[in-house]
């Protein structure tokens, strides 16, 4: 098939070998908030598998921005491990980027140094957390943390950073009227709600200088009534373009309110509850109210395309499409409609060699069925595609029993997983 996917293109100071980027997707492979060999191996594998750039998932710019165990914390001590990772990626001919962010009201006190702050002290049912309202000093300090994170990323050998300004993380919490109830210069009007984002981006661009590519992942829509909608997101995109960022990743959804808007489909809440074995709040909440908390949303291939095209019409900077890409045909369509790059998460969790297999003609479509098991188990430090675990009745048993039963019924397992894949497909 004739496709622009395998042609090189520029993103900031970099020329990528093709148009594919591995999207930031939490690997859960950072015990002690540090790099593990598993994390290095995974990014080496997707790089060897053909992507032009791989993005290491969410790294907190400070301890107060940590929301999970096994999540990266971008600090001096993490640099040597990250350097090994970027060396491995470069050896395979890819570039390495890292997503930097702060989670605000989603901070988990047991790992965030007891801190949890947000634009406003609004209860977060998913935590549960009741964050304190950020002071101006705290706002300034997080802005500085973003700049420091860029410098540490450079030291660790990264070619690019992706600022997380979507999905209901801290910048997105400032942008959204749902979470920003402030009455000062950071709240109410659009200009005020975008102030924190602009301050962060100015700090990031200053630190990035001429050698680091900066992209921003932002929401098209928050995904619920009362959240950010297209009229404002187009203006947010314009602001980011005027600040000189090199590209935008267009996504959507709000983890603490509309999580399925990000990935679509249904969350296998039984698996998630089992994976959250130590969480005394979320485990029962998921068991009893799972499908209410994580309201399913229908999946269609390229589900953000219609909204993303509205941003394409309004802006000229490089745009990176993400969301539900599983086939060569749809990737070709998206690139043909003016997006310079595509980001892919689940098809590369399913098979790190997805891009090379498309290139060689071995496949034209991923085997990923958007069943979202990989998300359900990522909190347990086991982010994996369930088509590749040899565990019988994966969603009925506890993760601790997986290894002991894994060798017994591999065939039954595959059938069971296929069955649950279908059941969870929307």
The entry of ligand SF4, ligand FMN, none near residue 378 (CB within 5 to 8 angstroms by kind) is: ligand FMN
Per the listing, tokens 């924190």 go with: 196
Q: Is 22 in the site for ligand FMN (CB under 6 A)?
A: no
Listed ranges 73-81, 147-155, 224-232, 373-381: which one lies at the site for ligand FMN (CB under 6 A)? 373-381
147 backbone dihedrals φ, ψ, rounded to 5°? -65, -45
Instruction: Give the dihedral sign, CA 296/302/306/311.
Output: positive
Q: Are 335 and 3 in contact (CB under 8 A)?
A: yes
118 backbone dihedrals φ, ψ, rounded to 5°? -155, 170
Q: Is 322 in the site for ligand FMN (CB under 6 A)?
A: yes
* Interface positions, 261-300, toward ligand FMN (CB under 6 A): 262-263
User: Between vectors from CA 201 to CA 57 and to CA 250, what angle results, nearest 5°?
Assistant: 55
Dist CA 343 CA 324 (whole Å): 10
Q: Could you tell me the smallest distance in angstroms from the CB atom of residue 166 to ligand FMN?
A: 7
Determine the distance from the C-alpha atom of residue 359 to the mean position of all C-alpha atoms in its chain, rounded to a whole number: 25
The entry of ligand FMN, ligand SF4, none near residue 167 (CB within 5 to 8 angstroms by kind) is: ligand FMN
**Where does this chain bind ligand SF4 (CB under 6 A)?**
346, 349-350, 368-374, 385-387
CA separation, residue 236 to residues 7, 113, 168, 176, 242 (Å): 29, 32, 15, 11, 10
Q: Of 126, 169, 321, 373, which is the active-site residue?
A: 169
Q: Is 99 in the site for ligand FMN (CB under 6 A)?
A: yes
DSSP label at residue 409: -
Q: Could you tell me the smallest distance in angstroms from the CB atom of residue 139 to ligand FMN?
A: 22
Dist CA 67 CA 72 (whole Å): 10
For residue 169, indicate whether it is catalytic: yes
Q: Could you tell me the smallest distance in angstroms from the CB atom of residue 70 to ligand FMN?
A: 12
Q: Could you tell me the smallest distance in angstroms from the CB atom of residue 418 to ligand FMN?
A: 19
Known catalytic residues are 169
Name the residues that contact ligand FMN, by CB under 6 A: 23-26, 57-58, 99, 164, 167, 217, 251, 262-263, 322-325, 344-347, 374-375, 378, 383
């Amino acid at each position: 098939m004739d496709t622009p996917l395998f042609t090189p293109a520029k993103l900031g100071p970099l020329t990528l070998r093709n148009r594919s980027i591995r999207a930031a997707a939490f690997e859960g492979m950072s015990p002690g908030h540090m790099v593990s060999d598993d994390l290095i191996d995974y990014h080496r594998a997707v790089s060897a598998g053909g992507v032009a750039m791989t993005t290491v998932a969410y790294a907190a710019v400070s301890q107060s921005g940590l929301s999970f165990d096994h999540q990266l914390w971008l600090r001096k001590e993490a640099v040597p491990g990250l350097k090994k990772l970027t060396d491995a990626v470069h050896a395979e001919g890819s570039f390495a980027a890292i997503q930097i962010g702060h989670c605000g009201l989603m901070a988990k006190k047991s790992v965030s140094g007891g801190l949890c702050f947000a634009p406003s002290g609004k209860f977060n049912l998913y935590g549960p957390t009741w964050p304190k309202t950020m002071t101006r000093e705290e706002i300034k300090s997080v802005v500085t943390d973003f700049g420091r994170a860029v410098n540490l990323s450079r030291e660790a050998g990264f070619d690019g950073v992706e600022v997380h300004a979507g999905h209901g993380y801290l910048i997105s919490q400032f942008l959204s009227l749902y979470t920003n109830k402030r009455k000062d210069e950071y709240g109410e009007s659009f200009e005020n709600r975008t102030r924190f984002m602009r301050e962060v981006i100015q700090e990031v661009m200053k630190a990035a200088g001429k050698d680091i590519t900066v992209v921003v992942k932002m929401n098209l829509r928050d995904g619920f009534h009362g959240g950010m909608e297209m009229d404002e997101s187009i203006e947010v995109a314009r602001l980011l373009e005027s600040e000189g960022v090199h590209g935008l990743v267009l996504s959507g959804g709000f983890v603490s309110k509309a999580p399925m808007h990000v990935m679509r489909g249904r969350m296998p809440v039984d698996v998630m509850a089992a994976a959250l074995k130590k969480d005394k709040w979320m485990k029962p909440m998921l068991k009893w109210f799972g499908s209410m908390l994580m309201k399913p949303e229908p999946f269609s291939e390229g589900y953000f395309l219609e909204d993303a095209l509205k941003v394409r019409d309004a802006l000229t900077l490089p745009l990176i499409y993400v969301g539900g890409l599983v086939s060569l045909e749809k990737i070709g369509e998206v690139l043909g409609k003016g997006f310079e790059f595509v980001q892919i998460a689940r098809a590369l969790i399913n098979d790190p060699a997805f891009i090379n297999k498309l290139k060689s003609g071995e496949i034209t479509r991923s085997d990923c069925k958007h069943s979202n098991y990989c998300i359900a188990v990522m909190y347990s430090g086991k982010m994996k595609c369930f088509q590749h675990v040899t565990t019988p009745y994966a969603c009925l048993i506890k993760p601790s029993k997986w290894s002991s039963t894994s060798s017994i019924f591999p065939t039954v397992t595959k059938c069971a997983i296929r069955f649950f894949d279908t059941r969870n497909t929307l």
